[in-house]
Structure 1
Amino acid sequence: MEWPVVLFLVLATACGVYDFLTMRVPNCLTVPLILAGLVYRAWAGDWWGGFLGALVWFVIGVAMAATGGMGGGDVKFMAAIGAWAGVYGGLMVFAVASLIGAAWATVKLARLGLLKQKLLYLLYWCGSIFTGVRQPLLVKMPEEGVTREAIPFAACLAAGVWVMTAAAWYVRY
């Protein structure tokens, strides 16, 4: 394994662990990771692919952050993954990270006793979207003062990086 890939894995793991412990991803990890990814891609002869990957995944991350789906550190971490892996590699990491995050959220909601309520609300929402008819609400809406249980998505992204790196290594060798 090349040393730049090892550097990427170490920094990505640091972002994931830090997010898992503190629910934030510091700029001192993400910004150098973005810059190192762009330098690596330029050294490998594909600067444009790294730049485009960082830009696309930054824009997607901003859109998700605007809806409350993630924080700013997650957005910059996604841009860093895009800088290293490109648009399509970032897509694969994001897909794996989303599956990991969905499994984690399901287990967390089940442990808190909220899984049934959230699934019924999801069914209500899907029924309203697909039929265009507001269905009768089967569950009580959450009150304003209730805090949401968050999942540290950068930890899921870091796990996705490891899964996709292992898969790429397996396919290559």
Structure 2
Amino acid sequence: MTMDFAEHMTVDGLVYSTHTFAIEPYRKSLPSPPRFNPWPGCSNGYRPTWEIRECGHERTLLMIGFHPEAGLPLLLPNATLPLAATWFSGIIRGVRGERRRTGYPPRDIYPDEIYVEIAAGRVVREWLLDLRAVPDQTEEEWRQSVPSFLWKFYPRPAPG
């Protein structure tokens, strides 16, 4: 996969960039997944937009847009937006602000990051990180300052 532009996810009125591509598990599960014409910065040929919204008594991941609009019926016949992303389970990392490289080995961080754990489209947990004041840190200092489940988002480089 080439480096694609980020998809956008709105949480509590703030727009985050994410590279999770939450519709891919659904598309790949289809017996004959539709193929879309790629364009520069979008190798899969479509670009959904997302929102975390209160639905009843729980927060839900919703697909609120799909570009190109004509492609949505190919992927999800008879679907209307907004659509609960019930096919998706996992953690979505969203970022806001200007990228900064810090520590050694260097890793990318952003002033504002959000991690949203989703189970069948429903929000299980959310973590907001304010990283504006984070100084350069060694890998070990950084690992001691965040929960271990986040480590997989910043993998250790191979030794050597």
Q: TM-score interval w.r.t. the shorter chain?
A: under 0.3
Q: TM-score, normalised by structure 2?
A: 0.22
Identify, as 1 or 2, the structure richer in strand.
2
Identify, as 1 or 2, the structure richer in helix.
1
Q: TM-score, normalised by structure 1?
A: 0.21
